[in-house]
Amino acid sequence: MKKPSSIALMIGASLVLAGCATSEPAAEQEASTLCDPVSSGAASEVVQVEGEKDGEVELSFPTPLTTENSQTTIIETGEGRNFTGEARAYFEYAMYSGTTGEEILSTGFGGEQLVKFFATSEVTPNLCQALAGAPMGSSLVSVFTAQDFHNSQGNSQLGLEPEDTVVMYVELEDFAYPRATGEELPQQGGFPTVVLTPDGQPGLQPLESAAPEELRTSTLIEGPGEPIAIGDTAYVHYSGWTWDGVLFDSSWDRGEPTEFPISTQNLIEGFVQSLEGVTVGSQIITVIPPDLAYGDEGSGSIPGGSTLVFVIDVLSID
């Protein structure tokens, strides 16, 4: 995967954000899209792309280009897994005003300005719908309605008026898993029981027995990706509890995964030890004793001497 650069936050910074039980088998979760994909149509099909993938491109189309619904046409179909939505996407792009036909922004397609963007239907631009169903490695053209791109509010930084549509050419290089995806393994004895909501968020049924004194880790879902090495930056969903089942932190509750450099300079030692060697796509449960967590002093809402329990979904490695 190409290395993301500082332009990774350009789209999110330039555009106005709209906001920020028993589970299905992991394989079925991966197969289904998590936001409604848009279809190809007259507006997206009329856009002409001059140039080659991974090189300079230029778009041309009749103006003003209008559409009642956002549309996506795949130009070149990739060979990777399909993008399901609600996940971080890594891509390069060229953005044009659908009203004037003028270019607004472009990464240049030189491999140095790869965008990473959490594509969810809860924000604008609605790249979750635009990219949903596209295989990894695809190039595509999307035509966005004003509502789907900027909430029909315009964007002065981009020179967009409230009624302006937006045309984007995207080269979809890679994307994270939205949740752990792989082979489900039996839950081992001696660990709290993990239960998942339909969207994959873990809950915990704590044990009444005394906490173990040593670090214990078990794989719940074994993912198909590369293993984490010390020094990698891992993009993860996680929830953390004290041994008696009190939730103290969860990326799920914040609505977006987070990334950590896997290093004891950034994380408690037990968290780092638990993740080393875990493959992308996996879900683990780990029980971390106080001496590998926050010791006798504790931290914030975590009392001193606490044994911690984390359930972690490894979504990608940067």
pLDDT in tens, 11-28: 554 433 223 222 333 443
What is the total residue count of the chain? Answer: 318
Q: Is residue 103 part of a domain?
A: yes
- 64: cis peptide before it, omega within 30°? yes
CA distance 318 to 312: 17
Q: What is the pTM of this model?
A: 0.87
In percent, how much of the chain has pLDDT > 70?
Answer: 90
pLDDT number for residue 18: 29
Helix (H) or strand (E) holding 261: strand 258-261
Q: Answer with the one of 157, 175, 193 that is the final residue of a domain.
A: 175
Based on the domain organization, do 239 and 193 belong to the same domain?
A: yes
Q: What is the DSSP letter of 192?
A: P
Based on the domain organization, do 87 and 150 belong to the same domain?
A: yes
pLDDT number for residue 3: 42
Cβ-contact 97, 104 below 8 angstroms:
yes
Q: What is the pLDDT of residues 154-198, one digit of tens each?
A: 999 999 999 999 999 999 999 999 999 999 999 999 999 999 999
Q: Answer with the one of 121, 152, 175 that is the final residue of a domain.
A: 175
Range of the domain at 233: 183-317
Q: Average pLDDT, stretch 146-153?
A: 97
Based on the domain organization, do 156 and 203 belong to the same domain?
A: no
pLDDT number for residue 22: 27
Tell me which of 9-23, 36-50, 86-100, 285-299 is least confident. Answer: 9-23
Cβ-contact 109, 57 below 8 angstroms:
yes
pLDDT number for residue 15: 37
pLDDT number for residue 113: 86
Based on the domain organization, do 76 and 52 belong to the same domain?
A: yes
Based on the domain organization, do 56 and 106 belong to the same domain?
A: yes
Contacts of 164 (CB under 8 A, 6+ apart): 97, 98, 99, 146, 150, 154
Based on the domain organization, do 199 and 146 belong to the same domain?
A: no
pLDDT number for residue 56: 87
CA distance 128 to 132: 6
Q: Is 29 helix (H, G, I), strand (E, B) or coil?
A: helix
pLDDT number for residue 21: 28
Cβ-contact 120, 142 below 8 angstroms:
no
Q: Average pLDDT, stretch 211-221?
A: 98
Tell how many helices (H) and how many strands (E) occur in the chain.
Answer: 7, 17
Cβ-contact 308, 238 below 8 angstroms:
no
Q: Is residue 73 part of a domain?
A: yes
Based on the domain organization, do 112 and 191 belong to the same domain?
A: no
pLDDT at 116 over 70: yes
Q: Answer with the one of 147, 175, 203 that is the final residue of a domain.
A: 175
Based on the domain organization, do 147 and 293 belong to the same domain?
A: no
pLDDT number for residue 12: 52
Q: What is the pLDDT of residues 50-82, one digit of tens each?
A: 998 888 899 999 999 999 999 999 999 999 999
pLDDT number for residue 153: 97
Q: Is residue 1 part of a domain?
A: no
Based on the domain organization, do 169 and 191 belong to the same domain?
A: no
Across the chain, mean pLDDT equals 90
Q: Is residue 196 part of a domain?
A: yes
pLDDT at 215 over 80: yes
Cβ-contact 268, 258 below 8 angstroms:
no
CATH number where 239 lies: 3.10.50.40
Based on the domain organization, do 168 and 189 belong to the same domain?
A: no
Based on the domain organization, do 160 and 270 belong to the same domain?
A: no
Point out which residues pair with 279 in neighbouring strands.
Answer: 227
- At 41, the pLDDT band (50, 70, 90 cuts) reads very high
Q: Is residue 235 part of a domain?
A: yes
Tell me which of 102-116, 134-148, 171-185, 256-270 is least confident. Answer: 102-116
pLDDT number for residue 32: 75
Based on the domain organization, do 89 and 210 belong to the same domain?
A: no
Q: Structurally, how many domains does the chain consist of? A: 2
Q: Average pLDDT, stretch 225-234?
A: 97
